[in-house]
Each structure stands twice: as C-alpha cells, then as structure tokens.
Amino acid sequence: MRVDRVPGISRLTAVLLFLSAGCGGGGSTITPPPAPSFSLSASPSSLLVAQTTTSIPVTVTANSINGFAGTVNVTIGGLPNGVNSSSNSTFTLAAGSNQMVTFTVGPSVGHANYPVTFSGSSGSLSSSAAVSLTVSGAPLTAATGNFKQQVIYQIVTDRFFDGDPTNNDPPQSQGLFDATKTNWQLYWGGDLAGIQQKMAYLAGMGITAIWISPPVDNIDVSTTTAPNQPSAPFHGYWARDMKRIEEHFGDVNNTWAAFDSMVAAAHQNGIRVIVDFAPNHSNPDDAGEFGALFDNGGATPFATFNPDPIGFFHHNPTITNFDDPYQLQYYTLVDLADLNQDNASIDKYLKDSLLQFQSHRVDAFRIDAVKHATWGWDYSFANVAFSTGPTFLFGEWAQGSTSDSLYFDSHKFANHSGMSLLDFPLAFAMRDVFANNGDFHEIDNTITAENADFASPNDLVTFVDNHDIPRLLSVSNNLNRLHEALVLLLACRGIPVVLYGDEQYLHNDTNGGNDPYNRIFMSAFDTQTTAYRLIDQMAQLRQTNPALAYGTSRQRWINSDVYILERQFFGDVVLIAINKSETAPYNITGLLTSLTAVSYPDYLNGLLGGFQITVTNGGGNNPVTPFSLPPHTVAVWQSAPAAAAPQIGSIGPLLGQCGITATIAGQGFGTVMGKGMFGSTSLVASSWSDTTVTFSVPGVMSGSYNVQLTTNSGAASNTVSFTVLTGPLIPVTFTVTNAPATATGEAIFLTGNVVELGANNTTRDAAVGPMLAPNPPTWFIDASVPAGAPIQFLFARIASDGTVTATENGLPHTYTVPSSGVGTVQVNWQY
C-alpha cells in the first residue's frame, strides 16, 4: 500500500508543479514540497483556579503540518511560584497526539492573571501556545466577621454583563428593557449570570468581595406614563418583594437559582458576596406599584401604602431638612414609601428577608439609607444578622464631611450598633483632592478625625466613586489622578470599594456624569489597563502585608501636592508616597519611617513612576535618604517580617450577646490551637488557624471585656475589646410626656440600667438620644433593648456641651421588654 501511494503523490505533485509553472508565465523554477512542521495548541485558553485547588485539564496538542511525524519537546513557562503542573514542566508529544496538563495552585499564590506558555520544539522547528491562568483565593467554606483584608468591587448588576439574554424582557415586566441602551432608566440586560461569567476577570484584579445591586424583586411597571419615557428600577432600590429575586437578574419565576449559582461560583474563588439591602422603603408611593409589598409571592400584596389601616408605612411629607433627625427617620425619602420598622409585621418581614439572604450564603450586607430608617431599630436589625452567623454590615450614612451636623450621630451609631459605615467624609475629601486639586491636608485631617471617633476605623468602607455621584473621571478627566486616588484608596485604612468600570476608565459626562450617567454599561474587560493592574497589586498587598488591613495610619510628610502615609501593624509597615502635581517635583527631606534600615524597591515596580529608597537607622524613627518625588508619581515601599508573637488586628463584630460567634483575626496565632481569654473567662475556640480564631461569646455578664490569645507555645497577644450585650435586641419605642422645656442645644436623652441604654451613664455618647420631639413636651426614641429583660430607665436633659441640665426625680421607671417582636412604653417625666 505504501509503495503504491508514493507514485500517486508524485503524480499529483508533478501536476501541481506544471500548473504552477504555467501560471507563473512559463518559468522553469521547481518549488519544493511544503516542509513538514507542527503547531502547538492548548485548549481551553483560559483557566480560573482557586488557591489550594487543581485546575481542569488543558489539552496540549502537537498538530502535524505537511506530514510532520516527529516528536515535540514541550516546556511549560510562566508558572508563578507555588503552582505545580502535572505532567511535569517538560514533556514530549508525538506528532498528532496530545497531553492533558493540570495545574495545582498552592495556598499563597497571588490572585492575578499569569500568562502561561507551552513552548514546543523539534529540531529547528518551534511553536508555542498560550493559556491565561487566573489564580483566585481559596474556596470559602465559612462566613467571617472580619472583612478588613477584602477589596470590594461594586457592581450595578444591570450594567455589568449580560450572561443570560433569556431574562432580558420577562413577561411580567415586559417593556422595561432597552436593547439599544439609550434610555438610561430602563434595564439593559446585565444579570447575576453575567457576574458569574466574569469571575476570572474579578479574581485576576485581586477582588475578594463583590457588592451587588439589591437583587430583590423590584416593581414590574414603569413609574412614568406616555408620552414620557418609561422608567424602571434597573438599580434595584424599588422592592416589591424582598424574599424573591428580580426576574431581570435571575429568571422569570423569581427563583433563587441564578443567585445561588453566582454565590457558589464566587465562594469557589474566594470571593465574598455583599448584598445591598434597603430596609427604609419599598418603592415609589406615587406611581408604578404605589409602595405595595409582597411577601414571597402571592396574588395580593401584604402591605399597601394606600390604604394602610395597620400602619405598615409612615405617611409623612418628603424630607426637606437633612439636618433634622426626626425628618430623616420618619419623613419620606424622595417619594419612596417609607416603611414603619416599628410595626411588628414590617420588623419581622425585613428581618426574615435578611435571614433568607444569610441562608443563601450571603457574606455581608450594605445597608441602604440607614440614616433614613429608624436608627434604634437598625441596631436590632444588625443584631439579627450577627446572631445568625458571622457577617459584616456597613450602612450608607451620607454626609459631606466630619463637620456635618450629624457626624457625631454617625460615629455613635457605628460604635454602638456594630454596623460599620461607608466613609463618606473621606470619599468627599479624596474627590476634592484628586478631582478638584484640593490640598492633601483635607484627606489627612479627615483620617485623623475619624480615627479618633470611630471605634474601628479599619472597618470603615472607603470609596472614591459610587453609583450615586459622578465618576471621578467625569469631574476631572485625568487618568493620573484616578490612579493616584486608587492607590491611596487601597492603601488607606478602611475596606476599599472599587466602582465597576473605574479600572476601564469608564465615564459618560452627560449632565456632569450624574446619575444615571455614572451607571454606564461595562464596555470592555481589558485586564491590561494600568488601573486593573495596580488594583491587583494593591489587593495582593492587602493579603500579604497586614499593615493595610489592621495597621495604624500616620502622616509622615505632607504639603498641598504630596502625601506620604505610613500604615503600621507591629513590625509590618507600608509607606506610600504620592505627588499629585501636574508639573512640580518635590524634594522630600526629613522623611522618617518605621521601616527598618535597608533599601526598599517600589512595590509597584515603577508602574506609576516609583523607585527605590534607602532607610538609615534612627533608632526606630528611621530617616529616609532624601529623594526627589517627580510630578504624578506614586511609590509604595513595604516590609512584612514574620510575626514574633501573636498579633490581633481585628475582632468582629465589636459587640453582641453571649453565644454569638465572633472572629479574631491577625497573625502569628500558630497552627496548633492555643488558648484565649475573654476577660477572666477562658474562651473556647471553635476554629483556630495562624490568622483567624472564631469563638462563641461566653456566658458572662454584659459589659466590656478584653480578649486575648495565647499560642500553644505560650506567647501572649495584645488585647482587643468586645462589648457583651445583655441579650438579643428588640426595638422598643420609649416615650416621655411632659418633659421639661429645652433651650437651644439641649435635648432629652434616655438612660437605663443595661449596657444597651448606656448603663445609667448620662454622657451624650452613652445615653440613647437625642430623643425626638416633633410635638414637645412629648419626646420619643426607638432603642434596641434585650429581649425579655426587666429594665429600669430614666430620662435626662443634656446640653450640647454634655452638661446634664435636668434629671428625673424618684425611682427609675421599670419595663419588661417583650421576648420577641417590638415594644412600646410611655411614661410621664417625674418632677
């Protein structure tokens, strides 16, 4: 057979040669037969692999060309340390054959995209095939009370990626979708499946948590009528049913399937899921579905705004004075039907909805408009979440700066509720500095003030852009400044949030880039932009140098254009230097640091112009050899030596009743279980690793306790403070009638004999208040108090400087808190 074939091929070759010669115009050149060769291919061409796991197989094939029949030697290149391949990094392939290769990723490989190359050679021939290997965090098996090491990516779900076109225009809400993406108030197709499909993009950027739009079922009809353009709740803040998933984000039956699938994919890659939850309101009370709320489906709503015989809603005017706490909590935010959280059914509905999300493995919550729901009730809402499992909560308390009239109330709220806050004062300071060329002192002063006032500044959730304000690039289209802002955001104290698309430099400047023009459809998923790469670098640093998550903040050098900030956690130090000037270099002299006396390369490898510095010995406060910082330069120098002793950087939550799970985080705890003390009580750890210990709050009296760990070999840690509540919290409305008159700055406060009411203290921070007096001399306030507990309480009048100007006479009032639901108690001021 073989012999027979040869003449056949020769005949064909001869014919081709003849034809070729003819076409060439009668020349006599003989073209040699095409040389045998090979090409290497690899499939799939991209892989997402979590730390501690093994990838699916990549099929590497040596494709034979022109009868190539040799053997190809293949070498795998580009694997980072900690990633092993199977087969080995070199193997041979016979022509036409293939080899399966898997990658096993170790526990500490950086979250990033790695270009892996299969290089094949055979004699003088060569060919290569590329695979993009994305390493993500290890799969998550449990929720955590510590979020400080995370980098959050905020996604407006509808505007991110359309992973499932079948849900774009669902029948129950038909017409609210705009395929042309020209009506900015309609759905554009992004969904939960889309987020799931972009998990590698997120992981490769070092993202470890996503904050998604409220995913609950929103109203099904437009809030506008023709000839006006239709308008739909693509943003998710107009709930009609908080127990189901919006059909545009999931499926036509409003099931949890797409949600669960996305959460599972995120967790598989070490990415936590933060749900935006809005307990303040349902939906517009004057259009669309007129505020009506359904309870997990059904034909009729369980709550209607009009009529509202049971009082599910407040029916007050629109908020006009954003400095008035009564208006903020009890009036109407724009036109959004304002839920009455003190109504037992609404209280239960909201808490059950939150619990349902926890049962669907949500890791944390961004609480929308906490300033507008009832503050005292918010405490019980947070308590429900903390009681159910480790979680993290941060509220949206919008304010312009630390001079805001309610700034004191904001940190009092965070410190006593256990719910952290979005850091609006720092966001506006950063926007002013980077977009309006403000003075760096503005940022520095804000950090100093907030660090003094917030019990856990490292838990503040920081940002420079969000979905409610123009993107930085709309305010000032300056990529350098965006990069500088991002590095500071990611290095600064607090948990950073990157708004989707900032890494692609998205902006639409129509109407100044205000909502909705800041909610642009994601146009590209380019993993090579400078912003994408620097976010990844800084996110990795948050994993490897605990100074970012747990450290103190110290300004080391400052002028209007230059900010040099040091973060320090015991021996771990990160020093970042930014010069935001367009033109001016600055000589940096007299700079001191806690970095030890050696040289430090720029951690960003010059990505933003950084360079090496030299530190000399100054006995701890060490001089940096003077250098010039060119305009638009950012440098990051860092060191994270092994911990000499156990070092606690975090406890979360900061408070809770006996029996709830708390998380201690830091480093050097040892891999063998050690011991812990909760005050003078031994702490029983339910899990123990070198960086994280969880335990159940022991059965001790309420109050404040120091918590300390000791390693198995006897080394003791620093202490952190935890406040034990008297019990799980129930919201109660306290009313006092006939209170004494108040002068400007004075207000009535509530105090009582439980830690939840300030343990009988009458400082403005410890006592509950200021109470509210829409109808003086009657004052009222909502406070969350221990379920089933007999409590004693009194009222006091306190001036703005903290002076107590009147107290009640006689014995304290007594009240037994209901064991579930909500409560009310009303008394007369005792003269």
Instruction: Please identify every residue annotated as catalytic.
Output: 368, 396
Work out whether 158 is an interface residue with Ca ion (CB under 5 A).
Answer: no
Assess 234 for contact with ligand NOJ (CB under 6 A): no
In the set 285, 295, 342, 396, which binds ligand NOJ (CB under 6 A)?
396
Window contacting Ca ion (CB under 5 A); options: 170-178, 533-541, 593-601, 689-697: 170-178
User: Which window, 215-223, 601-609, 650-658, 686-694, contacts Ca ion (CB under 5 A)?
Assistant: 215-223
Report in angstroms how near the CB of residue 283 gets to ligand NOJ at its nearest. 10
For residue 550, how far is the Cα from the chain centroid?
16
Q: Decide which of ligand NOJ, Ca ion, none touches 368; Cβ closer than 5 to 8 Å per partner kind.
A: ligand NOJ
Residue from 164, 220, 450, 561 that binds Ca ion (CB under 5 A)?
Answer: 220
CB of 359 to ligand NOJ, least distance (A): 24
Tokens 């701890």 belong to residue: 620
Least Å distance, CB 498 to ligand NOJ, is: 16
**What's the distance, Cα to Cα, between the start and end of the chain in Å?**
118
Q: Does 409 participate in binding Ca ion (rule CB under 5 A)?
A: no
Q: Does 219 bind ligand NOJ (CB under 6 A)?
A: no
19-58 residues in contact with ligand NOJ (CB under 6 A) are: none
With binding defined as CB under 6 A, does residue 378 bind ligand NOJ?
no
Among 119, 167, 173, 231, binds Ca ion (CB under 5 A): 173
Nearer to ligand NOJ, 283 or 478 (CB): 283
Neighbours of 701 (CB within 10 A): 10
Distances (CA, A) of 589 to 313, 556, 559, 600, 632: 61, 11, 12, 17, 18
Q: Three-state secondary structure along 96-140?
A: CCEEEEEEEECCCCCCEEEEEEEEEEECCEEEEEEEEEEEECCCC
C-beta closer to Ca ion: residue 216 or 707: 216
Sole window of 218-226, 338-346, 614-622, 644-652 interacting with Ca ion (rule: CB under 5 A): 218-226
Q: How far is the CB of 372 from ligand NOJ (least distance, A)?
A: 8
The nearest distance, CB 248 to Ca ion, in angstroms, is 7
Q: Which one of Ca ion, ligand NOJ, none is in contact with 459 (Cβ closer than 5 to 8 A by kind)?
A: none
Quote the least distance from Cβ 368 to ligand NOJ, whole Å.
5
Q: How far apart, in Å, are the Cα atoms of 776 and each of 225, 331, 741, 760, 793?
A: 43, 18, 8, 24, 20
**Site residue total, Ca ion (CB under 5 A):** 2
Q: Which of 484, 465, 474 is nearest to 582 (CA)?
A: 484
Task: Report in angstroms how near the CB of residue 231 gets to Ca ion at its nearest.
Answer: 14
Distance CA 411, CA 413 (A): 5
| Candidate list 212, 258, 278, 772; residue touching ligand NOJ; CB under 6 A | 278
What is the DSSP code string of 555-624? EEEE-SSEEEEEEEETTEEEEEEEE--SS--EEE-S-EESS-SSEE--TTTTTTB---EEB--STTSEEB
Q: Distance between CA atoms of 483 and 302, rounded to whole angstroms? A: 49
Choice between 249 and 678, CB closer to Ca ion: 249
Q: Read off the amino acid at residue 216.
A: V
CB of 235 to ligand NOJ, least distance (A): 6
Q: Which does 237 bind (CB under 5 to 8 A by kind): ligand NOJ, Ca ion, none?
A: ligand NOJ
Does 502 participate in binding Ca ion (rule CB under 5 A)? Answer: no
Alpha-carbon distance of 199 to 271, in angstroms, equals 9
Residue 368 sits in the site that holds ligand NOJ (CB under 6 A): yes
Q: Identify the three-state secondary structure at position 819.
A: coil
Q: Is position 251 an interface residue for ligand NOJ (rule: CB under 6 A)?
A: no
Tokens describing residue 39? 């090409």
Which residue, 540, 619, 538, is CA-closest to 576? 538
Interface with ligand NOJ includes 152 (CB under 6 A)? no
What is the side-by-side order of every strand in the sheet holding 685-688? 647-652, 661-667, 692-696, 685-688
Q: Tokens 């590209």 identify what position?
A: 524
**Residues in the chain, overall count:** 831
In the complex, least distance from residue 219 CB atom to Ca ion, rounded to whole angstroms: 6
Task: Output 390 or 395, the one with its CB closest to ligand NOJ.
Answer: 395
Instruction: Tell me if 158 contacts ligand NOJ by CB under 6 A.
Output: no
C-beta closer to Ca ion: residue 84 or 255:
255
Q: Which of 700, 659, 651, 653 is nearest to 679 (CA)?
A: 700
Is residue 369 at the binding interface for ligand NOJ, with CB under 6 A as the rule? yes
Within 10 Å of residue 126's Cβ, how many Cβ atoms? 14
Closer residue to ligand NOJ, CB minimum distance, 129 or 369: 369
Nearer to ligand NOJ, 76 or 216 (CB): 216
Choosing among Ca ion, ligand NOJ, none, which partner's interface includes residue 153 (Cβ < 5 to 8 Å by kind)? none
191 binds Ca ion (CB under 5 A): no
Three-state helix/strand/coil letters over 33-90: CCCCEEEEEEECCEEEEECCCECCCEEEEEEEECCCCCEEEEEEECCCCCEEEECCCE
Could you tell me if 527 and 539 are in contact, meaning their C-beta atoms sit under 8 angstroms apart?
A: no
Q: Site size for ligand NOJ, by CB under 6 A?
A: 8
Within 8 A by CB and 6+ apart from 155, the residues are: 195, 210, 211, 212, 213, 500
Strands 461-462 and 495-499: parallel
CB 638 within 8 A of CB 547: yes
**Widest Cα–Cα separation across the chain:** 123
Taking the least distance from each CB to ligand NOJ, the nearer of 258 and 367 is 367
CA distance 814 to 825: 10
521 vs 603, beta carbon nearer ligand NOJ: 521
- Minimum distance of ligand NOJ from residue 460's CB (angstroms): 17
Pick the piece of the chain touching Ca ion (CB under 5 A) from 22-30, 214-222, 411-419, 801-809: 214-222
Element (H, E) at 209: strand 209-212
User: 154 touches which of ligand NOJ, Ca ion, none (CB within 5 to 8 A by kind)?
Assistant: none
Q: Residue 173's binding partner, choosing from Ca ion, ligand NOJ, none, with beta-carbon cut-off 5 to 8 A by kind?
A: Ca ion
Q: CB of 219: closest distance to ligand NOJ in angstroms?
A: 13
Question: Which is closer to ligand NOJ, CB of 468 or CB of 526?
Answer: 468
What string of DSSP letters covers 418-473? --EEB-HHHHHHHHHHHHS---HHHHHHHHHHHHHH-S-GGGSEE-S--TTS--HH
Contact residue for ligand NOJ among 187, 237, 294, 780 (CB under 6 A): 237
Looking at residues 463 to 492 of the shown chain, list those that interact with ligand NOJ (rule: CB under 6 A).
Answer: 467-468
Helix/strand/coil percentages in the chain, nearest 5: 20, 35, 45
Q: CB under 8 Å to 613, separation ≥6 — which residues?
A: 599, 600, 624, 625, 627, 635, 637
Which window, 166-174, 384-392, 599-607, 799-807, contacts Ca ion (CB under 5 A)? Answer: 166-174
- Between 173 and 462, name the residue whose CB sits nearer to Ca ion: 173
Residues binding Ca ion (CB under 5 A): 173, 220
Residues binding ligand NOJ (CB under 6 A): 235, 237, 278, 368-369, 396, 467-468
